[in-house]
Amino acid sequence: MSRFNQELKVIPPVAWAVAIVFYIGFVILAWLVLIPQDAGLSQWPSAGQAAFAVGIPIFFLIYVLLIGYVYADARRRGMRYVLWTLLAIFIPEAIGIILYFILRDPPMRSCPHCSATVQGAFAFCPACGISLKPSCPRCRRALEPGWMHCPKCGSGLRAA
């Protein structure tokens, strides 16, 4: 299964239902109200009218699904999912959604020692205290593999 399919499964069924209802509603609105009442649209060829009625609401469908994804993904990452969902909804022009993807926390993971659920950025398990990432022996800050010196305290590292 591809990563894209796995991420699509994160979107809650309620978001799928709302997106589909909005999509169908916009298509019906376009066919029954917008196209007949607009002088310019009513003169378009039927293929153009169909493309307008079916194509434009796809953007609303994608927007609703992205909001559902932000809700579910923030929840599974241990973030403030209600706050992020509201930001995704109310900040205009999808800037809230873009901010979420830039600022989201790493995914949750389980501790290899005690199997407790731990935030991805943690260097130590809060349940059992085992080291989850390499850490500085002096200041105990998390380190990346391959670093030769701690970026916080400057101490030299041998095999961190």
Each residue's pLDDT expressed in tens, for the chain with a length of 160 residues:
789 999 999 999 999 999 999 999 999 999 999 999 999 988 999 999 999 999 999 999 999 999 999 999 999 998 999 999 999 999 999 999 999 999 998 888 888 889 888 887 787 888 998 888 888 888 888 788 788 888 888 888 775 4
User: pTM (2 decimals)?
Assistant: 0.76
Number of domains in the chain: 2
Contact 64, 15 (CB under 8 A): yes
The predicted pLDDT at position 110 comes to 87
Find the domain containing 140 and state its range.
Answer: 106-160
Residues 56 and 118 occupy one common structural domain: no
Residue where one domain finishes, among candidates 75, 105, 135: 105
Contacts of 82 (CB under 8 A, 6+ apart): none
Give the CA distances from residue 92 to residues 15, 121, 157, in Å, rounded to whole numbers and listed in that order: 19, 30, 47
Give Cα 140 to chain centroid, integer Å.
Answer: 31
